[in-house]
C-alpha cells in the first residue's frame, strides 16, 4: 500500500529537516583532532549519533571506529532515506556505549534487578531497578505520573539535558521491552537524547568490556518534570477507536497464542481489547536483533505493521500488550527506530483496561 511508504518518507523528511538545522551536510572531511563522537555531536547534534555515522561509513573506517584518518570523507546518514533510513542512534552497540562513556559523553542507567547488579555492572552506571519504574504491586501496569517520575529521575541523578543510555539484562523481547517502557517514560518527561543498549548487559559481557563491582553513587537532585501525552493513549482513546468514533487502530503485541487463547475445553478466552488486531512483536524482534543492514531493519518495522493493516496516515496506531512491555517494544521500533508518526502506547494495556472496569474480548483473528 503506497500510503505506508509515503508516511515513512514524510516522517523521515521531518527528521531530516530537524537534523539539517543542526548543521547536517551531505559529507564531512575528517580534520586533525577529530573523533567520531565529536563529529556526531558537531554535525548531527548528538553523541548518540555516533552509531549512525559509523554504520554509514563502516567500509571506509573499518572495524575500529576510533581509528579515523585526517582527510577521510564520511557520509552523514541524515541526508538520504536510501542510504540510512533507520535511526540506529537509539539502539547503539555495547562498543559504541563504551566509547561514549570513556569520553564522559553519556549517562548510563542500569534498570536490572538489585540481585543482577550485585554480579557486576557497566562502570560508572547508575542503578535504578525496573521495579521502581512500575506501579504498585496490586497493579503493576499503572503508569508513573509526573511526580513519581520526577522523584525517580531525581533520585538517580539523571539530567534531562544530557544523553542517557538504558541498560537491561539480555536481548529477549520481554527484557528489551522493559527498557523500551523506561525509554518511553523518559521521553514523555522531556529527555531528548535516549538510547537502549542493544543486547543489554549480556552484550557488554560478550564484548569483553570491563565490568565494575558496583554502580556509581548517584548525584540526586530535586527534579520537576512535566509529562507529555504525545506518545500516550488512555482509556478514552482506546474506547474511541474501538467504537469507531475516532480513526485509528489497536494492535496487540502479544504472541498469537496469548491473543487467541483457548481454555482446556478448547473454548476461546477473552484476552484483548475491543476491535484489537494481533501484531505479535516476536518476528520483528528477531529481525531487528540480528546484525541486519539498515534497509532491512526499517523494512521489517514497516512490513510488520503493514501486515496488520495499521494505516498510521489515517489515524493513530495504539500499541499495547498485557502489562506494557511488549507494546512499548513495538512502539520503540516503530516510533523511534523507524521514525513513524501517529504511533502511541497504551501503557496500562490489557491488565490496566480490566482494572479500570473495561471488558476484555475474544481476539477477532
pLDDT tens readout for residues 248-281: 999 999 998 999 898 888 888 999 999 999 988 8
pLDDT at 245: 93
Q: Rounded to whole angstroms, how far apart are CA atoms 146 and 252?
A: 26
Q: Rounded to whole angstroms, how far apart are CA atoms 179 and 130?
A: 8
Split at pLDDT 50, 70, 90, the class of 20 is very low
Rg (CA), the chain: 21
Chain region(s) in the chain for CATH 3.10.350.10: 2-82
Average pLDDT over residues 61-84: 72
Tell me if residue 312 falls in helix, strand or coil: coil
pLDDT tens readout for residues 40-58: 888 887 888 888 788 888 8
Q: Which CATH architecture has domain 94-206?
A: 3-Layer(aba) Sandwich (3.40)
* CATH fold group of domain 2-82: Membrane-bound Lytic Murein Transglycosylase D; Chain A (3.10.350)
List 314's β-bridge partners, or say none: none
- pLDDT of residue 341 exceeding 70, the answer is yes
In this structure, the strands spanning 27-29 and 73-75 are antiparallel
pLDDT at 86: 63
**Cβ count near 132 (within 10 Å):** 15
Chain region(s) in the chain for CATH 3.40.250.10: 94-206, 235-355
pLDDT at 292: 57
By the 8 A CB rule, do 158 and 126 touch? yes
b/e sequence 134-161, b meaning 16+ C-beta within 10 Å: bbeeeeebbbbebebbbbbbbbbbbeee
Split at pLDDT 50, 70, 90, the class of 8 is very low
DSSP secondary structure, 280-334, as one string: -SHHHHHHHHS---HHHHHHHHHHHHHHTT--TTSSEEEEE-SSSHHHHHHHIII
Superfamily of chain region 235-355: Rhodanese-like domain (3.40.250.10)
Split at pLDDT 50, 70, 90, the class of 25 is low
Tell me if residue 347 falls in helix, strand or coil: coil
By the 8 A CB rule, do 171 and 202 touch? yes
Amino acid at each position: 500500500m503506497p500510503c505506508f511508504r509515503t508516511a515513512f518518507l514524510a516522517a523521515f523528511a521531518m527528521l531530516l529537516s530537524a537534523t539539517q538545522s543542526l548543521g547536517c551536510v551531505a559529507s564531512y572531511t575528517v580534520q586533525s583532532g577529530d573523533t567520531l563522537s565529536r563529529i556526531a555531536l558537531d554535525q548531527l547534534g548528538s553523541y548518540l549519533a555516533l552509531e549512525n555515522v559509523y554504520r554509514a561509513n563502516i567500509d571506509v573506517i573499518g572495524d575500529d571506529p576510533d581509528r579515523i584518518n585526517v582527510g577521510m570523507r564520511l557520509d552523514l546518514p541524515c541526508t538520504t532515506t536510501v542510504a540510512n533510513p533507520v535511526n540506529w542512534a537509539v539502539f547503539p552497540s555495547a562498543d559504541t556505549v563504551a566509547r561514549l562513556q570513556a569520553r564522559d559523553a553519556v549517562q548510563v542507567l542500569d534498570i536490572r534487578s538489585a540481585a543482577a547488579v550485585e554480579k557486576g555492572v557497566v562502570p560508572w552506571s547508575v542503578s535504578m531497578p525496573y521495579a521502581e519504574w512500575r506501579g504498585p504491586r496490586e497493579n503493576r501496569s499503572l503508569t508513573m505520573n509526573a511526580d513519581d517520575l520526577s522523584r525517580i529521575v531525581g533520585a538517580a541523578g539523571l539530567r534531562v539535558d544530557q544523553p542517557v543510555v538504558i541498560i537491561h539484562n539480555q536481548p529477549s523481547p520481554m527484557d528489551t521491552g522493559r527498557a523500551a517502557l523506561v525509554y518511553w517514560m523518559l521521553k514523555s518527561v522531556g529527555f531528548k537524547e535516549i538510547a537502549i543498549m542493544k543486547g543489554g548487559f549480556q552484550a557488554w559481557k560478550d564484548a569483553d568490556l570491563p565490568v565494575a563491582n558496583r554502580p556509581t553513587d548517584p548525584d540526586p537532585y530535586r527534579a520537576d518534570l512535566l509529562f507529555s501525552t504525545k506518545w500516550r493513549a488512555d482509556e478514552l482513546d482506546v474506547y474511541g477507536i474501538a467504537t469507531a468514533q475516532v480513526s485509528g487502530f489497536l494492535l496487540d503485541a502479544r504472541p498469537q497464542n496469548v491473543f487467541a487463547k483457548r481454555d482446556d475445553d478448547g473454548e476461546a478466552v477473552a484476552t484483548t481489547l475491543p476491535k484489537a488486531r494481533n501484531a505479535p512483536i516476536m518476528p520483528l524482534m528477531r529481525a531487528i536483533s540480528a546484525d541486519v543492514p539498515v534497509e532491512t531493519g526499517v523494512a521489517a518495522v514497516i512490513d510488520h505493521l503493514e501486515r496488520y493493516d495499521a494505516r498510521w496516515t489515517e489515524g493513530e496506531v495504539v500499541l499495547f500488550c498485557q502489562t506494557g512491555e511488549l507494546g512499548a517494544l513495538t512502539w520503540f521500533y516503530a516510533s523511534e527506530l523507524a521514525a513513524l508518526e501517529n504511533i502511541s502506547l497504551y501503557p496500562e494495556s490489557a491488565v490496566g483496561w480490566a482494572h479500570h472496569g473495561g471488558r476484555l474480548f475474544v481476539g477477532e483473528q
